[in-house]
Amino acid sequence: MIDKTKTSLVSFHVGDKNFTSDVSALQYFTKNLTQDLRMDFNFSLGDDWSTEPEQELEYYRQQMCAYIENTYHNITVAYSGGADSETIIDAFKRRGTRQLTLLHLTNSVSAETEARQRLEQEMKERIQYKHADAIKNLGWKFRIGTRWEVGSSDQTERSITDGKFTAWNPDVDFLNQWFEDKPTSGIVPRYDQKRAGCVVYGKEKPEIGIENGWWVARYMSSMFETPFSFSDEVDDVYFFIDGACTDLPKKISWLKARAMEKIFLRDNILPTEKNANDASLFSSPYYREINRATGFQALSDFLNTDASKIWGWWRQKHEANIKTVHKETNYKSILIAKYFDEVLVKTIDNRFLDLKHRMVDGIRSKSYKLFPVSDMLKSNAKEHLMKQMESKEMKQPREKADTITGLNTSELLTKNKKDSKL
């Protein structure tokens, strides 16, 4: 159930036209490919990210905690035990914030599966071990496994055809997506006439890439699903990306980019745009290492991995399990797949689609330049290409306008030939 009266975190633009969903923006863009396509936030993050914020990361996390605490009386954290939400509540605990409600939601269908039940039990046990002090001394309340009723297949069909969602992947493609469902969690909106209640979300860490020889930070539409509509008096607050503390996403971006450069040097990874994209994803083998470097830590080892993410083994097993216990969900997945094949494939430029997994690649925000790729990484790339040339195994590059050093491939090869004569 979507509350369209609230200001969305992001919006999509093609030229001077605005859209509320990435699908509708991409459909229009497909007919107007010469126009500019972008995702924007509803607040400014500033244009210059090329100077690292000077304070330690915790300083900016505490700034965000202070802003939330001073703005809202009733604070609810959307809690999964994963790296994002656990890092948030650890920051609140260090601050000594009182009377937090930690809300973990499970739809009524998922609740029937053994995998979900075992996960919730493990969470309860670990919470009692790790956060017993906050429960006792700060009055925190953990509501694990709060149920909600899933939407019907008719609701799904209406939502898809009407385009009433933010992003296809998190809102539609995930089974039993929550944006169309009815929450029954009973969040208290306010008890003070001047200050509203809020739900704090962990969305979202930046994606780090390489463009024209620079490490850059950016965001994808697939990071931002439509949240529950609890009440008109409940605000949605995104902890890691908010206009109240723009230095927090900047600091995270710098730490993540530095961690990735260190990994690239250590493992002799070429600094290409593709390799940077792959390393930045939660499916990357470096996911946990990068999380540690950027100060993110989940409740448990299991939740610290990508097992519960979209391609993770637990997630895949869990969703297969859901289909066996709930026929309506199985029908919804068939309906979604049919809409993708019969509508999206025909109306969206296929460069924006993952046809194999029936997903929408999404729309990027602007890129924020951080710092240049190091000379040592550039040297490694140059050395690698020289060896390829010498062994006569040079193949067609996987990427057009390869951004290894800020030069394209032909420029780099020309430069190598000149250098070899010295």
Judge if 322 and 392 occupy the same domain: no
Strand arrangement, sheet containing 207-211: 207-211, 214-218, 368-372
Tokens of 113: 């599966």
Q: Which of 1-10, 85-94, 196-205, 402-411 has the lowest mean pLDDT?
A: 402-411
* Residue 71 forms part of a structural domain: yes
Q: Among 415, 49, 373, which residue's Cα sits nearest to residue 241?
A: 49
Q: Answer yes or no: is pLDDT of 392 > 90.
A: no
What pLDDT shows up at residue 407?
39
Q: Could you read off the pLDDT of 311-336 as tens digits, one per residue?
A: 666 666 766 777 666 677 778 888 88
Residues 307 and 268 in one domain: yes
pLDDT greater than 80 at residue 1: no
Same domain, residue pair 198 and 276: yes
Within a domain: residue 55?
yes
Are 365 and 397 in the same domain?
no
Is 320 among the domain residues? Answer: yes
413 and 290 in one domain? no
Total domains in the fold of the chain: 2
For 56-183, where are the alpha helices, taking DSSP H only?
A: 57-71, 83-95, 114-130, 132-137, 153-162, 168
Q: Is 4 domain-assigned?
A: no
Q: Is residue 399 part of a domain?
A: yes
Is residue 3 in a domain?
no
Tell me: pLDDT of 19 over 70: yes
Q: Do 385 and 285 share a structural domain?
A: no
pLDDT tens digits, residue range 48-106?
Answer: 999 999 999 999 999 999 999 999 988 999 998 989 999 999 999 999 999 999 988 87
Read off the pTM. 0.83
- State the Cα–Cα distance between residues 308 and 315, nearest whole angstrom: 5
Q: Which domain holds residue 399?
A: 375-420
Same domain, 407 and 262: no
Residue pLDDT, tens place only, 190-221: 555 556 788 899 877 899 999 999 999 999 98
How large is the average pLDDT for residues 229-247?
84
Please indicate, yes or no, whether residues 384 and 307 belong to a single structural domain of this protein.
no
The reply to whether 289 and 399 lie within a common domain is no
Of 69, 62, 102, 70, the C-alpha closest to 86 is 102
Closest CA to 378 of 209, 206, 163, 213: 213
What crossing angle do the helices spanning 375-390 and 409-420 adopt, rounded to 10°?
A: 80
Shared-domain flag, residues 34 and 64: yes
Could you say which of 353, 369, 385 is where a domain stops?
369
Same domain, 403 and 260: no
Residues 45, 398: Cα–Cα separation, whole Å: 33
Cα distance between residue 209 and residue 229, in whole Å: 33
d(CA 187, CA 205): 26
Residues 307 and 405 in one domain: no
Distance CA 65, CA 198 (A): 13
185 pLDDT above the threshold of 80? no
Peptide linkage before 204 cis (omega within 30 of 0): yes
Provide, rounded to the nearest whole percent, the portion of the chain with pLDDT above 70: 77
In a domain, 310, yes or no: yes
Q: Which residue has the tokens 């469902």?
A: 181
Q: Residue 410 above 60 pLDDT?
A: no
Per the domain annotation, does 200 fall within a domain? yes
Top pLDDT among 106 and 292 is at 292
Angle between helices 83-95 and 57-71 (to 10 degrees): 80
